[in-house]
């Protein structure tokens, strides 16, 4: 009888140890799971904070971007670019960035005239309503005249374009150089500032 009692108590003790071990394992599993969940939540929060604080990351990008809208009167503007990066979440200065190339066409539907503006890259700001074209900026008018510069601003609210860099204006039989210019968006009434060169172009002039 004593031996049976000892064996019974021994089994009880082993069962108690087993139960305690299972409870300990469960407790450790719960702690580990809580730690993992907390770590994941922390990482997600860090990512959210990164996107909210680091405004140098665009919120979206669009390939083969195209936008068409009407200007005053019968003029229609079409903007195309291989890539557009959207930084409209910027708190201080929201904008869209075109890093590869940009082409703007202004068409007068009544006169069937078209003005084309191209540049290496561009920034379209939301407030103020201003655009900035940079690098090999070329404006080609409906009459064949063209303007070449490295930097141009476009005031969309007033439909006015202007610049303050070296500018070359080619018109029919002359080439005018200056520093800075201003014009309407359809390349009418162009005025060069600080003119420093005028070349009459003939058939023999390159």
- Check if the beta carbon of residue 85 is closer than 8 Å to that of residue 124: no
Dist CA 186 CA 152 (whole Å): 14
Closest by CA position to 198, among listed 175, 180, 181, 178: 175
Beta bridge partners of 48: none
What number of helices (H) and strands (E) belong to the chain?
Answer: 1, 12
Peptide bond into 82 cis (omega under 30): no
Is 184 or 9 the better-scoring residue by pLDDT? 184
| Residue 46 CB-density burial (10 A; 0-12 exposed, 13-18 middle, 19+ buried) | exposed
- Check if the beta carbon of residue 65 is closer than 8 Å to that of residue 84: yes
CA-angle at 169, arms to 166 and 172, nearest 5°: 165
Model pLDDT for residues 125-154, shown as the tens digit of each residue: 887 778 899 999 999 998 889 999 999 998
Reduce the DSSP state of residue 84 to 3 states and report it: strand
Model pLDDT for residues 95-130, shown as the tens digit of each residue: 899 999 999 998 887 777 889 999 999 999 887 778
- Check if the beta carbon of residue 67 is closer than 8 Å to that of residue 79: yes
Q: What is the chain's mean pLDDT, rounded?
A: 77
| Residue 183 CB-density burial (10 A; 0-12 exposed, 13-18 middle, 19+ buried) | buried
Q: Are strands 95-98 and 75-87 parallel, antiparallel or unpaired?
A: antiparallel
Q: Other CB atoms closer than 10 Å to residue 191's CB: what's the count?
A: 12
For the CA atoms of 5, 11, 17, 23, the dihedral, rounded to the nearest 10 degrees, stands at -120
Q: How confident is the model at residue 71 (pLDDT cuts 50, 70, 90)?
A: confident
Model pLDDT for residues 13-66, shown as the tens digit of each residue: 555 555 555 555 455 554 544 554 454 445 445 544 544 545 578 889 999 999
């Amino acid at each position: 009888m004593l031996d049976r009692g000892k064996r019974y108590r021994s089994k009880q003790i082993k069962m108690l140890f087993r139960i305690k071990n299972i409870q300990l394992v469960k407790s450790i599993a719960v702690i580990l799971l809580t730690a993992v969940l907390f770590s994941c939540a922390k990482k997600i929060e860090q990512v959210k904070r990164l996107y909210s604080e680091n405004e140098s990351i665009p919120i979206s990008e669009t390939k083969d971007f195209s936008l068409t809208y009407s200007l005053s009167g019968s003029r229609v503007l079409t903007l195309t670019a291989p890539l557009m990066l959207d930084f409209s979440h910027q708190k201080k200065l929201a904008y869209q960035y075109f890093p590869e190339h940009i082409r703007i066409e202004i068409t007068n539907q009544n006169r069937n005239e078209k003005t084309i503006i191209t540049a290496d890259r561009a920034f379209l700001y939301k407030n103020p309503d201003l655009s900035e074209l940079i690098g090999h900026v070329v404006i080609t008018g409906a009459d064949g005249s063209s303007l070449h510069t490295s930097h141009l601003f476009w005031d969309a609210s007033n439909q006015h374009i202007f610049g303050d860099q070296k500018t070359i204006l080619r018109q029919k039989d002359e080439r005018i150089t200056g520093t800075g210019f201003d014009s309407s968006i359809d390349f009418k009434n162009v005025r060069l500032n600080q003119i420093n060169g005028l070349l009459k172009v003939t058939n023999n002039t390159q």
